[in-house]
Structure 1
């Protein structure tokens, strides 16, 4: 999906996000979900956003993923607890795809939905690499990302008041 299509499906994205991130270790509340989705409209207006939804045959939303390439002014690198080399943090709007969210509702986990969403969003992108944050206590997510080739490059607080997250990087087109 592009941004306008994702905007049209905001209710499905919100449902999946709210259910998946209410669980440990995230414990997101209705207020947290509302805060996350106050940013959703501006994200879907980015011309470079890529998103995907997984649904059952009956149309029930079961998983979602979205992200976009990081611009030259990306703050992602500034949130790391330890600095990384300047060459690693260099952005130009094409070099790094920032994976913002990937979630699957409980009953559909363990069926390869997350992997297919991940592959769908990244299919055909020209970025050199993918960057994401993951909660260190999110064991299933951590294991999946490592299996898919991500490596931890640091730690960050992705937003004010957030728990410390692992910052993971996946090289592409190598």
Structure 2
């Protein structure tokens, strides 16, 4: 982290803005994951991201936060309100902390990506905090690649705790399900 972070502006967007922003979001995501062979091997691609975002726009209270620096878009994150059963899945639900398992106030944070040249400046933290402020839930949860040390370090610093292994489909990778109590 540098001593004086860049002056990044954060902008909140909703479902109606996705069509215009989708190419930019896919470009940021691709740049953020350059050199992460485990991501590609797990089947995560910019095309999969496009399908994922488009599918997630049907969720209630979908929120997208985009970070810009001057005229360059440098990062984004999005999430939405969801039920514990939807987010954790029937198999993992019994292993989740009871207060989180039974909550009616859960946000699923689906993506948090910052261009590789802008990582380490606190932009991801600002996007994350802005997402949580917009979603206003008691709990937040996200999935992380087990081998992504940078992301894992960020999420630990933000207060997330490991909640269990999450199998991303029959042929998909096993990801780390992380959980954060946002309000006590």
Q: Place the TM-score, normalised by the shorter chain, in its bin.
A: 0.7 to 0.9
1:50 alignment counterpart: 63
Q: Following the alignment from structure 2 to structure 1, what is the Cα–Cα distance between the partners of residues 160 and 96? A: 19
2:48 alignment counterpart: 35
**Structure 1 regions of 5+ residues with no counterpart?**
none
Distance apart, 1:46 and its partner CA: 3.1
1:15 alignment counterpart: 27
CA RMSD of aligned residues (A): 2.5
CA displacement, residues 74-132 of structure 1 (integer Å, 9 cap, x when unaligned)? 1533364x84158343354xx11000000111100111110011011111433110011
Distance change (3 Å), C-alpha of 1:69 and 1:144 = same
**Structure 2 regions of 5+ residues with no counterpart?**
1-12
User: TM-score if structure 2 supplies the norm length?
Assistant: 0.80
CA displacement, residues 4-63 of structure 1 (integer Å, 9 cap, x when unaligned)? 1233211111111122234323136998321231232232243410111112202x2211
Correspondence 1:115 to 2:142 = no
1:139 alignment counterpart: 149
The answer (yes or no) to whether the contact 2:94–2:101 under 8 Å persists in 1 is no
1:106 alignment counterpart: 116
User: TM-score if structure 1 supplies the norm length?
Assistant: 0.84
